[in-house]
Structure 1
């Protein structure tokens, strides 16, 4: 059977970004998942019924560790001789594509699900630009997971446009619209969750899902929410802080701690119950590839307020299934949140269209089918 290698820097990306896609592809190919953190990798591989191989990688610039990872992966690929190596995430991209090229793997694919370098400057930006160009040079095809991201790569001259291809309508994995559905969450469970979080029946609940960091627009979100200043409006924050990698402003952290209408609940394995008790998603991120949470919220019939960046502005059409605001603009974000609160007719109209947009364009079966066909054509 044809061998397919899927690589991410850390196992959580295999689990959360790809998940059941690994099991699905294993019906057609002999799939091996490669990532760091050996114990967690084995758990993820066992969960989806695929083989695994451990290569320790980091999310930071660590040249010595990266060379060790490259060496280990190179010898694994030389031994296994797979037909396809497909990498995701920046560090797995450079290690995976370089090792695959050196090992003579014929089909080398790298999915780009965002460009963290866009928020960097100076020497670090130059290093990251170089790494990105080298990754794309080693790949036979580069797969941006949104059309906006494809254009950014072209504008930055990171790769020849002929090397770039977007699968289906965008997204690395699509979304399981049967799983992400209000029908899957019992009403009694919703009421219990609301009660535990002290959310009243008539409260309007905005929700943010993701890492609670600067690059996700959390500083602007908290600033905008503070201006609303109504006890019948709540803000649910679902996700972890990253104080070391991308810290929030001290005043933002203080507001989160002291404002009783802001409800941080930390990381959740299943975000559906939290989406089910919410009215609208707020996602003012600075940069994305193709954000899963915007698709998840839409599938759960939530309209979204998103920043005008690639991915977000492809899933959301302004005043059709959500609102689009300028990135890093707390005033526009505040005005958009007010519009959801004060313009009931608009809000209901957006809510009614939220799910159908996702099911028609981004259902998982559409994306998986397109990727399988892409593999087959290359082979």
Structure 2
């Protein structure tokens, strides 16, 4: 009989996208249940990962009454299913999953930290989030920051004891499937059709941003910087959904996106690879990250990157080797880095040549999966549960 593992995230897109393929791999060794808020995306997880899924509604905002309902639902599920391991991702699923698992007597309780919204919060709300973070880690038996920067941040703020913390592999929650994220899989015909659809010329230099179009991804600064460039045949391709509820873009930014003919907003795309394939460089001036998949994906697709000096980004990108690192929230720095990519052809080519190799050597997906599987087996052995 296989040990049972529950993997829990706040919203199903995290199971479906951020952990894509991992749950299927783990299910070859364990009985895996995926838990998240309900909806069609959770059903997609069931279908594509081949695992059982259970919906538990969770809010991404601070909603005490709803959170207590989520906690009760998770507790009841864990008492019924009796998992050996509960492994949570994302902040709300972390507090709900870890506290419920501890109350239900789950022996191994793991939480992966992949970005901390509290980094951008101050005042009373920051105190609440600090408390929640500490409570989550207190209820967990092991905490996995997915980058060295997050590891150091947690230690410096004394959220938990050092012996609870561990960085798995070189970082990243899921690694990158470099055979899937390869320019070779997107044909010239596909690329030409997409360029024509978007109004991009063969000689255009295309900067691409992939992610939610929100403030803390640095989109306000990116759009403002791009509008200050004065080069013919340069485009900015924005790939991702607008979010108007949690962290909306400035009205000036929305106006610039609408009015500047060089900015192309493609919206959310299930498959971002064709958009990388027709681009020349990634620009990702985010305020905070855990270990951003987008930067790894772009690198695997042979794109050098402009990234902000934050956790994860400044580990994937090595200055001058496969991209450049700039200060956070700095319009001039974004503009100067974009100009460098356009004008310094020798440096650009060097970074482009290095981009894919530096991802395959450090973040190949199978390496990350194998390291996680080894960790699970080690924890079970330590508890004497490896033969259950």
The alignment's TM-score, normalised by the length of structure 1, stands at 0.99
1:232 aligns with 2:194: no
2:380 equivalent to 1:374: no
Task: Map 1:102-251; keep pairs closer than 5 Å.
Answer: 102-251=103-252
Measure how far apart 1:39 and its partner are.
4.3
Distance 2:163 2:148 in 1: 14
Counterparts of 1:124 and 1:79 in 2: how far apart (Å)? Answer: 35
Residue number in structure 1 paired with 2:306:
305
Tell me what 2:328 maps to: 327
Which residue matches 2:37?
Answer: 36
Q: Distance in 2 between matches of 1:134 and 1:221?
A: 36
Which whole-Å deviations, capped at 9, do the CAs of 1:194-233 have from their partners, x for residues lacking one? 0111111110000000011110001110111011133300
In 2, the alpha carbon distance for the partners of 1:251 and 1:24 equals: 45
Secondary structure in 1 matching 2:206: strand
For residue 270 of structure 1, what is the aligned residue in structure 2? 271
Deviation at 1:146, TM superposition (A): 0.3
- Per-residue deviation, 1:307: 0.2
Deviation at 1:38, TM superposition (A): 4.4
- Aligned pairs for 1:277-316 (under 5 A) are 277-316=278-317
8 Å CA contact 1:231, 1:261 repeated in 2: no
Distance 1:307 1:33 in 2: 33
State how 1:339-350 maps to structure 2 within 5 Å. Answer: 339-350=340-351
TM-score, with length taken from structure 2? 0.97
Counterpart contact for 2:175–2:365, Cα < 8 Å:
yes
User: Could you tell me how far apart the structure 2 residues matched to 1:286 and 1:3 are?
Assistant: 37
The answer as to whether partners of 2:142 and 2:164 remain within 8 angstroms in 1 is yes
Q: Could you say which residue in structure 1 is the equivalent of 2:27? A: 26
Q: Compared with structure 1, are the counterparts of its residues 260 and 38 closer, same or farther at alpha carbon in structure 2 (3 Å cutoff)?
A: closer
**Two-structure CA RMSD over aligned residues (Å):** 0.8
SS at match of 1:59: coil
Q: Give the aligned partner of residue 74 of structure 1.
A: 75
Which moved further from structure 2: 153-162 or 358-367? Answer: 153-162
**Offset from partner CA, 1:39-67 (integer Å, 9 cap, x none):** 43233212210011111111011111111
Q: Which moved more, 1:323-332 or 1:69-78?
A: 69-78
Q: Match of 1:47?
A: 48
Contact 2:16 2:42 in 1 (8 A): no
Partner of 1:10: 11
Q: Distance in 2 between matches of 1:274 and 1:198?
A: 13
Residue-pair matches, total: 379
